[in-house]
Amino acid sequence: MDNVCFERRALVEIPEPQPKIAGRLRRSYMDVLSTRMSPLPNSAISLSRRSRPLVSCSRRPWIGESDSRGEEEEDVKSPTTISSHQLVQLLSSLILLKEKQKCTDDSSKLKLLLEDLLQKKASVYRSIPYSRLGSNRDAHCYRKAYPHLLAFKRSCQEGGQTLVRTGDWESVLEFVLAGWRCTSELPQWDTTGHNVLRQHCYSALARHCSIALRHHQPPANKAREILRRLKTARGHNHQMSSCVEELKQLLKDLKH
């Protein structure tokens, strides 16, 4: 029997191996540029769409809009008239607003002046050296505090003059009484001549107080309260005696 050789066929054809593609392969700049510059089939349509002129988005006037605008212009052009009663109310509200603003300004000014006095008094005590074996009221400590004492005296004089120029006499009296208390709290020096600045402050405040009492007549209840405070101030220095007498005479005139 002849040997018959049958040709063996592969059941499945094995394809040739494909080259591997690297993951996240970055394209070069020239490849990207060439793909963008390559003409597309719908390029003519896109160019034609892009070349269309933009339609203006201006709002078209509605029917009857021109008439309404004309009416609005006529309303704006027509002058607004107010009655006499409304005019009186407007003027009275403006006057009240002006008075309220003035009171606010005066109170804030008085507050600032009193804060300045307290700050100058604190500066006097901060300037005194307390780490000494001897007295801290001697000439050496006085020379340290002398510039701050001068600043305190200047604040007493100029602060009272500022309030006197404004004509707010109640604020003047309040400033005098508060300044008198601050002056009484200044340090008492061992040498008598070093206390002259304190006396100058007392005399300036007493002068402001007498000017306020000449131009201002407070009500009876307010006058009694001020008299009580002035008597307390007279206990610190006798220069307030003249103001006490003036206020007593004012109270007698109010009773009659």
Query: What domains, with CATH codes, occur in the chain?
Result: 105-216 (1.20.58.1590)
Q: What is the pLDDT of residues 86-132, one digit of tens each?
A: 676 677 667 766 665 565 556 788 999 999 999 999 999 999 988 77
Q: What is the mean pLDDT of the chain?
A: 77
Percent of the chain at pLDDT > 90 equals: 46
Nearest to 171 by CA among 58, 133, 179: 179
Model pLDDT, residue 48: 47
Element (H, E) at 52: none
Is 205's pLDDT higher than 90?
Answer: yes
Is 255's pLDDT higher than 90?
Answer: no
Q: What count of other Cβ atoms lies within 10 Å of the Cβ of residue 72?
A: 10
Is 16's pLDDT higher than 70?
Answer: no
Q: Which residues contact 153 (CB under 8 A, 6 or more apart)?
A: 197, 200, 201, 204
Element (H, E) at 18: none
Tokens of 94: 């403006």
Q: What is the pLDDT of residues 143-161, one digit of tens each?
A: 999 999 999 999 999 999 9
Is 243's pLDDT higher than 60?
Answer: yes
Query: Rounded to an integer, what distance in angstroms lies between the CA atom of residue 99 and that of residue 105?
Result: 10
Q: Which of 36-45, 51-60, 112-121 has the lowest mean pLDDT?
A: 51-60
Q: Which residue has the higher pLDDT, 197 or 88?
A: 197
Q: Which residue has the higher pLDDT, 169 or 101?
A: 169
Model pLDDT, residue 124: 94
